[in-house]
Amino acid sequence: MGYKDVYDSWKADPDAFWMEAARAIDWDTPPSQALFDRGDHMYEWFADGMVNTCWNAVDRHVEAGRGEQTAIIYDSPITHTKREISFVELRNRVAMLAGALRAKGVEKGDRVIIYMPMIPEALEAMLACARLGAVHSVVFGGFAAHELAVRIDDATPKAIIAASCGMEPGRVVHYKPLLDNAIEQATHKPDFCVIFQREQEVAKLIPGRDYNWHGFQYGVQPADCVPVEGNHPAYILYTSGTTGQPKGVVRHTGGHLVALNWSMKNIYNVDPGDVFWAASDVGWVVGHSYICYGPLIHGNTTIVFEGKPVGTPDAGTFWRVISEHKVRSFFTAPTAFRAVKREDPKGGFIAKYDLTDLRAVFLAGERADPATIEWAQEHLKVPVIDHWWQTETGWSIAANPLGIEELPVKLGSPTVPMPGYDVQILDEAGHPLPDGELGAIAVKLPLPPGTLPTLWNAEGRFQKSYLDHFPGYYETGDAGMKDAEGYLYIMARTDDVINVAGHRLSTGAMEEVLASHADVAECAVIGVTDDLKGQLPLGFLCLNAGCNRPHDVIVKESVALVRQQIGPVAAFKLACVVDRLPKTRSGKILRATMVKIADSETFKMPATIDDPGILEEISQALRGLGYAK
């Protein structure tokens, strides 16, 4: 069957399609049906089945006689460490950790926050939670204490599992002080913390609250897998919305297992036993789906890579890892390839390694620019596949499903909708637009298994953010179009979310931080185009009347404030002071116009602008920062 046959077979009978896919999962009690309609456009999948994620990701491979197969390869050029963990070792380690967590009171449904770098123990912590039916929420290490505190208050975890430190090129990220500070800031307090002490930095533990990862497992009983309902939350993952309050995307257990398992063969074209590598971070959705769960559920070997595309030690790192570990399918963000291409435009490093095992490269996280795809195609000589998805969906909305059929690649398009996704381009009033016209991208409800059923503790926000604007549809927040052959093109966000080095960030959240500076009366943050990172945040600050402190000092303080409040990952380094912000007569800040000016694009003077003269002041300020040329 080709792509069209598979897509049509899903469309003809979605329930039968997903029930068939569900047969590849080990259920304690199989579900009686796939879709459960909860009314008000709310849906769940496999709700009445009983199942355990850790069993499916780990134990069942041991039971099937593949216990000696490598489950996790840890390759850390930043600490010069390599290690392999087999499925049987992983089962034993995770069962002990889960047993120790249970001995301290963690049970099914309890939340556990995980704040760890790219080390195998991060996956073990996730799997130990899954084993007990506890709901994990992994927080990316590049976020500051305040962001961690916000997540602690929203998820109200019983426990927090952290590492003593993370390693960034040239600097140690001191996780423990960040964790202590976050717990101090948060209203909710966890019962206890488990700290994995790394040899690069041993953290000071707080007696009675903090336990050493190794010590607290001593003498406990290993825990068995706890079957949970198909609609039991597997995890919560916070992602940026339009405000400083992140959205807690919920993932239900049954659909997560079925969809990820289906995607491994049909999209990524790997078979059990193959090595699959997603060079991302466990703090992002790519890390959840394709470093931890997807490969392990499907019986693949996964790679935990602690390093950067360049500088650890050079632009050949990716190719060294692919060659050494015989990676079949490789997944990364376009920004990582741009970083490599910048240092090694002719692919000199690529030529040094034997990449014969590599069959395909997948890119996601941001728009894949044609130049980057062409560079990768030319040098790697394998299909380079752009695919489009979001934290909310957990797996691809659109892709080139290599395991079904390799469709022709069209540069600039992540190819076609996957089964489960009826993608429509809508006008503002919600009417489908003809091919080739730009509009809001929406997906007809229900969304497929594995996608978000709701937001944690925020069903109203879920409805308002995703369902209300286009009744009967999920609003993706992306704008784009479809061509006559059904290929999708993802062009821009329709909200205040920007994408910096494949990291999704909220300009609204940065504005909230800047507005808290004592001298700032009003501010705006926009995303300007950047050759390496895709976009960079840039802030405009209007100061309080009478403020006569030097502007460069205020700019420096503002940059430091965003780093301190949101974290280094915000990459907020550009800001300028202006007298006024351009607005419409009704007071709306004209951010889109400012973006066009910054990117030196032609723009139409907005008909509703209050005072066109302000735009010249904005241009001048931008020229001072090297933009609006």
Instruction: Provide the binding-site residues for ligand COA, judged by CB under 6 A.
Output: 117, 141-142, 166, 168, 173, 280-281, 284, 286, 308-310, 333, 335-336, 339, 364-365, 500-503, 532-533, 568-569, 571
How far CA 65 is from CA of 58, 73, 80, 88, 223, in Å, comes to 12, 19, 32, 10, 21
Which of ligand AMP, ligand COA, none does residue 166 bind to, with CB < 5 to 8 Å depending on kind?
A: ligand COA
Burial zone of 320 (CB within 10 Å; 0-12 exposed, 13-18 middle, 19+ buried): middle
Q: Six-digit token pair at 576?
A: 């300028």
**Is the CB of 335 or the CB of 506 nearer to ligand COA?**
335
Compute the least distance from the CB of residue 366 to ligand AMP, in Å: 5
By C-alpha distance, which of 302, 257, 260 is closest to 277?
302
**Is the CB of 168 or the CB of 314 nearer to ligand COA?**
168
**Is the CB of 177 or the CB of 436 nearer to ligand AMP?**
436
By C-alpha distance, which of 52, 134, 131, 53 is closest to 92?
131
Compute the least distance from the CB of residue 288 to ligand AMP, in Å: 11
Compute the least distance from the CB of residue 493 to ligand AMP, in Å: 5
**Is the CB of 100 or the CB of 364 nearer to ligand AMP?**
364
**Is the CB of 186 or the CB of 501 nearer to ligand COA?**
501
Burial 604-617 (b: 16+ CB within 10 A, else e): eebeebbeeebbee
Q: Are the CB atoms for 288 and 282 separated by under 8 Å? A: yes
Strands 228-229 and 50-51 come out as antiparallel
Compute the least distance from the CB of residue 175 to ligand COA, in Å: 9
Which of ligand AMP, ligand COA, none does residue 308 bind to, with CB < 5 to 8 Å depending on kind?
A: ligand COA
**Is the CB of 493 or the CB of 573 nearer to ligand AMP?**
493
Q: Count CB-CB contacts under 10 A for residue 141.
A: 26
Instruction: Write 169-174 long-range contacts (CB < 8 A, 24+).
Output: 169/78, 169/308, 169/311, 169/312, 172/200, 172/201, 173/117, 173/141, 174/201
Which of ligand COA, ligand AMP, none does residue 493 bind to, with CB < 5 to 8 Å depending on kind?
A: ligand AMP
Compute the least distance from the CB of residue 490 to ligand COA, in Å: 15
Residues within the interface to ligand AMP (CB under 6 A)? 239, 285, 364-368, 386-391, 414, 477-478, 490, 493, 499, 504
**Is the CB of 220 or the CB of 467 nearer to ligand AMP?**
467
Which of ligand AMP, ligand COA, none does residue 336 bind to, with CB < 5 to 8 Å depending on kind?
A: ligand COA
Which of ligand COA, ligand AMP, none does residue 391 bind to, with CB < 5 to 8 Å depending on kind?
A: ligand AMP
How far CA 44 is from CA of 37, 93, 445, 449, in Å, comes to 7, 32, 11, 8
Instruction: Write 438-441 long-range contacts (CB < 8 A, 24+).
Output: 438/479, 438/480, 438/481, 438/491, 439/479, 439/480, 439/481, 440/469, 440/470, 440/475, 440/476, 440/478, 440/479, 440/494, 441/476, 441/478, 441/479, 441/480, 441/488, 441/490
Which of ligand AMP, ligand COA, none does residue 277 bind to, with CB < 5 to 8 Å depending on kind?
A: none
The β-bridge partners of 503 are: 500
Which of ligand AMP, ligand COA, none does residue 499 bind to, with CB < 5 to 8 Å depending on kind?
A: ligand AMP
DSSP string, 221-271: PPPPPPPEETTSEEEEEEE--SSSS-EEEEEEHHHHHHHHHHHHHHTT---
Q: Count CB-CB contacts under 10 A for residue 338.
A: 21
Which of ligand COA, ligand AMP, none does residue 387 bind to, with CB < 5 to 8 Å depending on kind?
A: ligand AMP
Number of residues assigned to the chain: 629
**Is the CB of 229 or the CB of 475 nearer to ligand AMP?**
475
Q: Please, which residues have CB within 8 angstroms of residue 536's CB and are 6 or more apart in sequence?
A: 500, 527, 528, 530, 571, 573, 574
Q: Please, which residues have CB within 8 angstroms of residue 320's CB and are 6 or more apart in sequence?
A: 353
**Is the CB of 159 or the CB of 399 nearer to ligand AMP?**
399
Which of ligand AMP, ligand COA, none does residue 239 bind to, with CB < 5 to 8 Å depending on kind?
A: ligand AMP
Q: Six-digit token pair at 341?
A: 């291409």
Which of ligand AMP, ligand COA, none does residue 491 bind to, with CB < 5 to 8 Å depending on kind?
A: none
Compute the least distance from the CB of residue 365 to ligand AMP, in Å: 5
Compute the least distance from the CB of residue 477 to ligand AMP, in Å: 6
Compute the least distance from the CB of residue 455 to ligand AMP, in Å: 13
**Is the CB of 213 or the CB of 474 nearer to ligand AMP?**
474
Cα distance between residue 524 and residue 546, in whole Å = 20
Compute the least distance from the CB of residue 262 to ligand AMP, in Å: 19
Q: Are the CB atoms for 400 and 377 separated by under 8 Å? A: no
Q: What are phi and psi of 407, to 5 degrees?
A: -85, 155
Three-state DSSP class for 128? helix
Which of ligand AMP, ligand COA, none does residue 281 bind to, with CB < 5 to 8 Å depending on kind?
A: ligand COA
Q: What are phi and psi of 467, to 5 degrees?
A: -110, -25
Which of ligand COA, ligand AMP, none does residue 57 bind to, with CB < 5 to 8 Å depending on kind?
A: none
Compute the least distance from the CB of residue 289 to ligand AMP, in Å: 10
Which of ligand COA, ligand AMP, none does residue 414 bind to, with CB < 5 to 8 Å depending on kind?
A: ligand AMP
Compute the least distance from the CB of residue 450 to ligand AMP, in Å: 14
Cα distance between residue 278 and residue 267, in whole Å = 14
Compute the least distance from the CB of residue 618 to ligand AMP, in Å: 25
**Is the CB of 376 or the CB of 490 nearer to ligand AMP?**
490
Which of ligand AMP, ligand COA, none does residue 220 bind to, with CB < 5 to 8 Å depending on kind?
A: none
Cα distance between residue 597 and residue 526, in whole Å = 11
Compute the least distance from the CB of residue 333 to ligand AMP, in Å: 9
Cα distance between residue 366 and residue 332, in whole Å = 10
Q: Count CB-CB contacts under 10 A for residue 48.
A: 15
Return left, alpha or beta for 589; rule: phi > 0 is left, psi -120 to 50 is alpha, else beta.
beta
Compute the least distance from the CB of residue 535 to ligand AMP, in Å: 10
Tokens 């607290």 sit at which residue? 216
